[in-house]
């Protein structure tokens, strides 16, 4: 437990301290955000706000994870794991795709960076590499990921095989990285919501660690590889998000950009894959799902009827144009995320109670 607190604390401290340094550096380099021409008029004042703050989130996560290991590896007798390193690879890889996207936006002074094809290719390379590696590196008969579709644990009748798993994992990673990216439209909305989802994975993975089949064969134990290392990654990332949120909350002094949103979305999807809770993430990340669906519905309905369902998509802009202030939208969406996380954790615990016979 001490290592988890160290990981979260270091991630938080590094993010709080490094973000103002990044703000000054990005301002000197002229790395300011470009704003959509068709967005809410209230957002035009945000033009020029430093972006690519996701570099701080990724960096603080890496440092938090590393320090937690260096501080306790001698006492606890465990070192870096394949699962933890794969999660960090996924975060850094998706963050790199986002960084290129942000850089091109700034260089060309427009709100669009990488074209859709280039962005999807980048996500494809990172996602498929993660998926292929995740079904290797066995330890005690377990690999970091399973080729079986999971809810709270593997659903054995839904075995996909290696190729099927790689395809599903890519779609899952690309889907949630883009979902967090779409949600990152208001000050602090994506950072706060991501922190709550990451907190739920701290609870889930640490519970799996204390009820791991490798150490304790009991009814309902979890077949998960390296659950404590998963907890450290989630804790480091949560701390990094909270530290960044200190400077990103309205009025934001820096934006995470695609660098942060793609990195966080990819990491969250990776956490679901390695904890065998893929379908549960649809509940835990309910806000991200709703925001994405609002865009899909808007585009599909407009193409079919030339009319719009929402005043504007993604969903948070619809409520802004309906008269809600930005802060009202942010806080209420945070509340929605909190309720989704609470409900998801309730489902996770209910599964455990069914095995315990309570």
b/e code 184-213 from CB counts within 10 Å (16+ = b): bbbbbbbbbbbbbbbbbbbbbbbbbbebbb
Chain centroid offset of residue 39 CA: 24
As to burial, measured by CB atoms within 10 angstroms (0-12 exposed, 13-18 middle, 19+ buried), residue 226 is buried
pLDDT digits (tens, 9 = 90+) for 136-159: 999 888 999 999 999 999 998 899
Q: Is 226 annotated as a binding residue?
A: no
Entry field: residues in the chain: 358
> How many CA atoms does the CB half-sphere of 133 hold within 13 Å?
17
Q: Specify the pLDDT at position 77.
A: 47
What string of pLDDT tens digits covers the 358 residues of the chain? 788 999 999 999 999 999 999 999 988 887 666 555 555 555 555 666 888 999 999 999 999 999 998 887 555 446 789 999 999 999 999 999 999 988 888 877 655 667 788 889 999 999 999 999 999 999 888 999 999 999 999 998 899 999 999 999 999 999 999 999 999 989 999 999 999 999 999 999 999 999 988 777 777 889 999 999 999 999 999 999 999 999 999 888 999 999 999 999 999 999 999 999 999 999 999 999 999 999 999 999 999 998 999 999 899 999 999 999 999 999 999 999 999 999 999 999 999 998 876 5
Give this prediction's pTM.
0.93
Nearest CA among 302, 300, 294, 301 for reference residue 318: 294
Max intra-chain CA distance, the chain: 64
To the question of whether residue 38 is assigned a binding role by annotation, the answer is: no
Report CA Rg, the chain: 20
| Complete DSSP assignment for 224-251 | -SSHHHHHHHHHHHHHHHHHHHHHHSSS
Supply the pLDDT for residue 283: 97
Kindly state the helix (H) or strand (E) to which residue 285 belongs, with its residue range.
Answer: none
Which stretches does DSSP call E strand in 148-204? 148-150, 154-159
Write the burial class of residue 215 (CB in 10 Å: 0-12 exposed, 13-18 middle, 19+ buried): exposed
């Amino acid at each position: 437990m001490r290592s988890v607190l160290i990981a979260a604390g270091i991630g938080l401290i590094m993010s709080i301290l490094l973000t103002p340094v990044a703000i000054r550096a990005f301002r000197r380099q002229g790395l300011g955000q470009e704003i959509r021409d068709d967005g809410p008029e209230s957002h035009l004042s945000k033009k020029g706000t430093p972006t690519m703050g996701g570099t701080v989130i990724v960096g603080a996560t890496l440092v938090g994870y590393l320090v937690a290991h260096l501080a306790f590896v001698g006492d606890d007798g465990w070192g870096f794991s394949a699962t933890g390193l794969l999660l960090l690879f996924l975060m850094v890889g998706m963050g790199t795709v986002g960084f290129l996207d942000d850089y091109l936006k700034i260089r060309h002074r427009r709100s669009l960076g990488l074209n859709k094809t280039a962005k999807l290719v980048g996500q494809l390379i990172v996602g498929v590499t993660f998926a292929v590696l995740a079904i290797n590196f066995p330890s005690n008969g377990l690999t970091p990921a399973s080729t079986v579709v999971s809810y709270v644990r593997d659903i054995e009748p839904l075995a996909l095989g290696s190729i099927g798993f790689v395809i599903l994992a890519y779609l899952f990673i690309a889907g949630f990285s883009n979902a967090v990216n779409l949600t990152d439209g208001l000050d602090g909305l994506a950072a706060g919501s991501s922190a709550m989802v990451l907190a739920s994975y701290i609870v889930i993975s640490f519970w799996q660690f204390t009820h791991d089949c490798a150490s304790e064969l009991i009814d309902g134990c979890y077949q998960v590889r390296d659950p404590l290392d998963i907890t450290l990654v989630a804790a480091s990332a949560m701390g990094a998000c909270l530290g960044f949120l200190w400077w990103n909350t309205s009025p934001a002094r820096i934006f995470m950009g695609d660098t942060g949103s793609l990195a966080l979305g990819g990491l969250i999807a990776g956490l679901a894959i390695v904890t065998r809770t893929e379908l549960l993430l649809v509940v835990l990340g309910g806000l991200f799902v709703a925001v994405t669906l609002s865009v899909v519905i808007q585009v599909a309905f407009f193409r079919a009827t030339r009319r719009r369902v929402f005043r504007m998509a993604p969903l948070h802009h619809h409520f802004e144009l309906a008269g809600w202030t930005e802060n009202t939208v942010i806080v209420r969406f945070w509340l929605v995320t909190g309720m989704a996380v609470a409900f998801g954790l309730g489902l996770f615990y209910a599964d455990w109670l069914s095995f315990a016979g309570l």
